[in-house]
Amino acid sequence: MKRKDFLIATGSGLAVVANTEHVFARALAQTPLPGLPGSSDRCLVLINLFGGNDGLNCVVPHGDARYYQLRPGLAIDRNDVLPIDAHTGFNSAMRTLKSLYDKGVVAVVQGVGYPNPDHSHFRSTEIWQTAAPDRYEHTGWLGRYFDDSSPNVPNLFRGVAISRVLPEVMISQRTDVPAVPALGQYTLAADREAASRDAFAQGSRDRRLPFSSPYLAHVMEVEGDAQRSSEELPRLVAGYTPKASYPATVIGRSLALAAQIIGSKLGTRAIYVEHGSFDTHVNQKVVQTRLLGQFSDAIGAFYQDLAAHGNDRRVLTLTFSEFGRRIEENGSRGTDHGEASPLFLIGGGVKGGLYGTLPDLAATNMGNVRYSVDFRSVYATVLERWLGRPSTAVLGGAFAKLPVLV
């Protein structure tokens, strides 16, 4: 039985649906093996903390004297850290995330990176999104997951990017992912004679043109998808009412839309959200504190909303950032581009706790934190244990899974 049929068959009232859903999802979330029906109801929310989030001031090694020596003007004061244990704690701006951590639904994986790290935003972002550190790859790891998991399934919303530019992580061979910066902007304006409505639909499919362009096929395809998805998306999500008060920030609005899409059950398997910029070469404390606070507060509202609709166990949130930053502060109350950094997995399916290795501030790679967990291990874990797909083909190799999911 398809998930949708199940709901229709059992749910006579909203409360019943929500309740059934919750129990159903919980049972599925606890099923540890890939390929089981539960995985088809799950969604991954991938948050790009772009610009290079400084890991050491995010997940703070407050038990390490060297941290305070190397960052005399920038270290987070011991008294301000929200401690996890005697060595590690959260940045003081992340109270909400810390309270979720205390509830056991946040995994912190430290020391995530890849071999021969690149210090360019551009290339390193590409590496994280394509999962290909050693070659130039034009599809993203989630794009390849879409293609691999069900090629030619005509669902316009298997992936949704809440951004203006389609992120490389969702670029694929066969699956068009709508880039929806905000719902209000995702509607074709009407004109008096409805010419604009027809504009995309008709004529645009005829390829008998007196020129050939490498971009023609893409334009035609996206025009068609844009027309259909812009008609369908606002209608499909219209019945959803948020049950949390989201902060009035970009990340707040983005996660509110993510919850709405998830709650509307469109078959969406992955949603991309971005937040930043974390490129704190100067004045880091002010900028990063504000951004981490915005992130933490938005996540709090997001899971409150998801839980109120019984969706919290359906959703796994994963963060990434192109790199961490230099251990030693620079002369501008900031930090330069670095290497390994921590990431977060959040959700009802997460086995909360600290994973990976503590950052070693003595044995460094030219002043940068060395990586101990390959980022593709995190992706492999998410693909196999959350989305229920084999990861080897998607990632171009086999990577150890982490025990971060229940």
Partner 1 sequence: MAAQTHTDVGGILRPQGHLDLATALAPYESALGERAAAHLLRRAGFGGTPDDVRRFAAMTAHEAVAQLMKFPSAQSIAPPQALADFEQGSYTGKARGREGRRTVVAMQEWWLDRMLSGPAPLQEKMTLYFHGHFTSRATPRFAWITYNQNAIFRRYALGNLRELTREVSKDPAMLLYLNGAQNVAAHPNENYARELMELFTLGVDAYGERDVRGSARAWTGWQVNRRAGTSAFDASLHDDGRKTFLGRTGNFTGDDIVNLIFEQPQCARFFAASLLNWFVYNDPEPELVERVAAQLRAHDFELSPVVATILRSNVFYSERAYRALVKSPVEFVIGTYKTLGLSSVDAGALPALIQMGQHLFYPPSVAGWPGGQNWITSGTMIARQNFLTQLLGSQTLENSSWLRGLPLSASAAANDVAQRILQGDAAPATLAQLNGYLAGAGTAALAALSTENYDQRIRGAANLAMASPAYQLN
Give residues 6-45 in contact with partner 1 (rule: CB under 8 A): none
**To the nearest whole angstrom, how small is the minimum distance from the Cβ of residue 184 to partner 1?**
10
Distance CA 116, CA 4 (A): 46
Q: Residue 10 or residue 187: which is nearer to partner 1 going by CB?
A: 187
**To the nearest whole angstrom, how small is the minimum distance from the Cβ of residue 39 to partner 1?**
26
Count of residues touching partner 1 (by CB under 8 A): 71
**To the nearest whole angstrom, how small is the minimum distance from the Cβ of residue 73 to partner 1?**
10
- 68 makes contact with partner 1 (CB under 8 A): no
Q: Segment 197-226, which members bind partner 1 (CB under 8 A)?
A: 198-200, 202-216, 218-220, 222-223, 225-226
Q: Segment 297-356, which members bind partner 1 (CB under 8 A)?
A: 330-332, 334, 336-337
- 266 makes contact with partner 1 (CB under 8 A): no
**To the nearest whole angstrom, how small is the minimum distance from the Cβ of residue 117 to partner 1?**
10
Backbone region of residue 39 per phi and psi (left: phi > 0; alpha: psi in -120 to 50; beta: other values):
alpha
Among 95, 281, 370, 401, binds partner 1 (CB under 8 A): 281
Among 155, 187, 245, 392, binds partner 1 (CB under 8 A): 187
Q: How many residues does the chain have?
A: 406
Q: At what angle are helices 284-308 and 250-263 packed, to 10 degrees?
A: 20
**To the nearest whole angstrom, how small is the minimum distance from the Cβ of residue 320 to partner 1?**
16
Of 318, 311, 310, 303, the C-alpha closest to 386 is 318
Cα angle: 66, vertex 63, 290; to 5 degrees: 90
- 173 makes contact with partner 1 (CB under 8 A): no
- 358 makes contact with partner 1 (CB under 8 A): no
Q: Segment 137-166, which members bind partner 1 (CB under 8 A)?
A: 138-139, 161, 164-166
Q: Segment 78-107, which members bind partner 1 (CB under 8 A)?
A: none
Distance CA 159, CA 2 (A): 19
Burial 214-253 (b: 16+ CB within 10 A, else e): eeeeeeeebeeebbebbeebeebbeebebebebbebbbbb
Count of Cβ atoms closer than 10 Å to residue 366 Cβ: 8
Q: Helix or strand or coil: residue 158?
A: coil
